Amino acid sequence: MYDDQWTDDELLSELGEALRAEREVPGALVDAGKAIFTWRSIDAELTALTQAHLTYDSFADDAALQGEESSLLVGVRSEQAALRSLTFAADDLSIELEVTDDGVLGQLVPPQSATVEVLSPDSSRVDVPVDEVGWFTLRPVPTTRFRLTCHLGSGASVVTDWISL
Amino acid sequence: MTTVATAAQGGSHLVADLVARALQGDDRAWGALVARYAPLVTSVCRRHRLDEADTLDVAQGVWLSLLEHLGSIREPAALPGWIATTTRRECLHLLTGKGGRQRAELVGEVDGATIDLTEQLDDMIVQAERHAALLEALADLPPQHQQLVVLLIHDPPLAYAEIGRQLDMPIGSIGPTRQRCLEKIRNHPAVAPLLESPARPAHR
């Protein structure tokens, strides 16, 4: 039907489908996509920093343990386990995160004071207070994906992969 | 059936131009890329039965990946396939990750549906490219002709008398104008390659 030629009616009906598919796109999806363009400048800035990659995710750990037969148990377990733990590691610094219902608890390892920043895809940057032993809290739990940058007393800066909770 | 490769060829010049301009910092070119592939991202998310909030989350990951990979796109015709597989990967990641915890019933479905999803992905790519080509051709018509086409495909169908009234157009000229519009769309450089391609089975 789509090769060689379309009849007028087929062509009009295809155009109708194309317009319908376009209307089904949530408006926020396109707007957010356009807004992400500003991320380019931040991205360029981040490439100079040390990257901290995800080395542990309690969810991934669970998923690895979960066989086909136990997949129905996943929902049950989730209701009991409120916490998710994540670790991001670079050579000289690890960032450990624990997700709770009302926030994300963070710990820099080795413990040290630093400046921590939450970067969002819309290019907003929020400073997070860090205590002298490297504790910090993100509250509430971020609803969109984010990256953390840590500017250490030594002058070094570390940035995590994207984090999606 | 039109193959994925054929479907993407018609739009590849436009896409190559948009990519090049976006790389130079042109935010309107980037916006056009986002708008072009948004229906494909949405349809892949729909196929994975994601709700709107999850669809937005997945799309955000896709746009960020696209932005990061913009400089390494060598073959614009391969971009729709890249968008579709990236979207699918983000969907599966979300369903088996955070969402999977709360929606165990979907995890089983994802496992079982993985195989025919690959075939459906090809179909979705071909369809999305076809739609993008048609919308591109439609957008190149004069505004009044665009309105005419939109009214001609109105659901429920509108009588010519009603269309003539809305566009302030004599009823007698609607048929011939419709004909001219459809010919222009058929001959549009984005659409014509889809019509000329010989019938052959979709390749994998």
Q: What is the CATH number of the domain that holds A78?
A: 2.60.40
pLDDT of residue B155: 87
- Domain contains A35: yes
| Cβ contact, residue pair B2, A3, below 8 Å | yes
pLDDT of residue B198: 47
pLDDT of residue A134: 96
Based on the fold, state whether residues A27 and A40 are members of the same structural domain: yes
Based on the fold, state whether residues A105 and A126 are members of the same structural domain: yes
What residues of chain A lie within 8 A of the CB of B102, using their CB?
75, 78
Instruction: Quote the number of domains for chain B.
Output: 1
pLDDT tens-digit series, residues B37-78: 999 999 999 998 999 999 999 999 999 999 988 988 888 888
Examine the pLDDT at A44 and tell me if it is beyond 90: no
Which residues make Cβ contacts (< 8 Å) with residue A142, sequence separation at least 6? Answer: A104, A118, A120, A163, A165
Examine the pLDDT at A79 and tell me if it is beyond 60: no
- Domain contains B158: no
- Domain contains A154: yes
Based on the fold, state whether residues A117 and A74 are members of the same structural domain: yes
H helices of B70-103, in order, are: 79-96, 98-102
Share of chain A above pLDDT 90, in %: 65
- Domain contains B104: yes
Tokens of A131: 């205590």
pLDDT of residue B127: 93
Based on the fold, state whether residues A43 and A65 are members of the same structural domain: no
pLDDT of residue A34: 95
pLDDT tens-digit series, residues B102-117: 444 444 455 555 556 6
- Interchain contact A44–B (C-beta under 8 A): no
pLDDT of residue B175: 95
Based on the fold, state whether residues A20 and A53 are members of the same structural domain: no
- Domain contains B154: no
- Domain contains A66: yes
Examine the pLDDT at A65 and tell me if it is beyond 90: no
| Cβ contact, residue pair A37, B22, below 8 Å | yes
Based on the fold, state whether residues A68 and A100 are members of the same structural domain: yes
pLDDT tens-digit series, residues B134-191: 999 999 999 999 999 999 999 899 999 999 999 999 999 999 999 999 999 999 999 9
pLDDT of residue A62: 57
Judged by DSSP in three states, B140 sits in: coil
Average pLDDT, chain A: 85
Residue-number span of the structural domain to which B110 is assigned: 4-131
- Domain contains B90: yes
- Domain contains B95: yes
Based on the fold, state whether residues A23 and A93 are members of the same structural domain: no
Instruction: Quote the number of domains for chain A.
Output: 2
Average pLDDT over residues B194-200: 60
Based on the fold, state whether residues A80 and A101 are members of the same structural domain: yes
| Cβ contact, residue pair A18, B131, below 8 Å | yes
- Domain contains B108: yes
pLDDT tens-digit series, residues A101-156: 889 999 999 999 999 999 999 888 999 999 999 999 999 999 889 999 999 989 99
| Cβ contact, residue pair B63, A74, below 8 Å | no
- Domain contains A3: no
Q: How far is A150 from chain B (nearest CA, A)?
A: 21
Based on the fold, state whether residues A43 and A63 are members of the same structural domain: no
Based on the fold, state whether residues A76 and A103 are members of the same structural domain: yes
Average pLDDT over residues A17-33: 95
pLDDT of residue A58: 85
What's the pTM? 0.80
Lowest mean pLDDT among A78-92, B21-35, B43-57, B129-143: A78-92
pLDDT of residue A57: 87
Based on the fold, state whether residues A113 and A35 are members of the same structural domain: no
- Domain contains B24: yes
Residue-number span of the structural domain to which A20 is assigned: 8-48
Which residues make Cβ contacts (< 8 Å) with residue B154, sequence separation at least 6? Answer: none
- Domain contains A99: yes
User: Which CATH number do you get for residue B103?
Assistant: 1.10.1740.10
